[in-house]
Amino acid sequence: MNKKASTTTNVIWIIVGVIVIVGLGIFLFTSGVFTASVIDSAEEFDGEFGDIELPDEAVGTDLVVGTANLVTLDVFNATFTGNVDVNGTNGIVQAYAFKFEVESNGFDDLDIDGTLGSTIATTEAVIRKAYVMLDTEGLTIDSTNALPEFAVDLDNNLNKYSIEAENVLKGDYILVTEIKTIAGVTIASGERMLDITFDADTDGDEDEGTVQINNG
């Protein structure tokens, strides 16, 4: 056999070998001997809510602590108070921002709903913006720091909003609701400004909570 024929034969055997190896790999994969590593969300997301409090790192909230966060059987309740009495104001914006901590392996799904207090008319105040950001050193409470994975739907009447997110990982987050007062506002000191509910789905479980924000 000449040199050229030998080289051709070697190339053919190399090609045959590659085909055999690829074919064997496909067989083993499809037969279940080797399987892809796929995260099962039902097993992966088994988190829960932790601290509900003022931001530790980011600055700019217009809240002060009200009633301490109370957690009982996966349900939390917390109250905050604005640091300014908005009664009689016109056009001021208050950034009601607080931290909510997601522990363990996070949530498969998280829904947040915010509504103006039942006695607050949109002729007195409106919800200007709502968003979620990280509680990170060096950040300020500002919509430019909003996390895009938290989808926000602000009602056309500017009196309520909903936020939805999937695959929420462990971390310290901040919910921000910006309230703007209207001329002729007559909101009493201590009057309820916002009612906020949290609803999170995890591995066969459901964690929820409520936050009440009162006028200063």
**Domains of the chain, residue spans:** 1-38, 42-214
**Up-side HSE of residue 116: CA atoms within 13 Å toward CB?**
22
What is the pTM for the complete model shown?
0.78
| CA 170/CA 202 separation, integer angstroms | 12
Question: Residues, the chain, total?
Answer: 216
| CA 216/CA 213 separation, integer angstroms | 9
| CA 81/CA 62 separation, integer angstroms | 9
Question: Residues near 5 by Cβ (< 8 Å), separated by ≥ 6?
Answer: none
**pLDDT digit string (tens) for 40-98?**
444 577 788 988 999 999 999 999 987 766 666 678 999 999 999 999 999 999 999 99
The architecture of the domain spanning 42-214 is Sandwich (2.60)
Most confident by average pLDDT, 13-22, 27-36, 184-193:
184-193
DSSP alpha helices (H): ranges in the chain? 3-30, 41-44
Q: Is the pLDDT assigned to residue 184 strictly greater than 90?
A: no
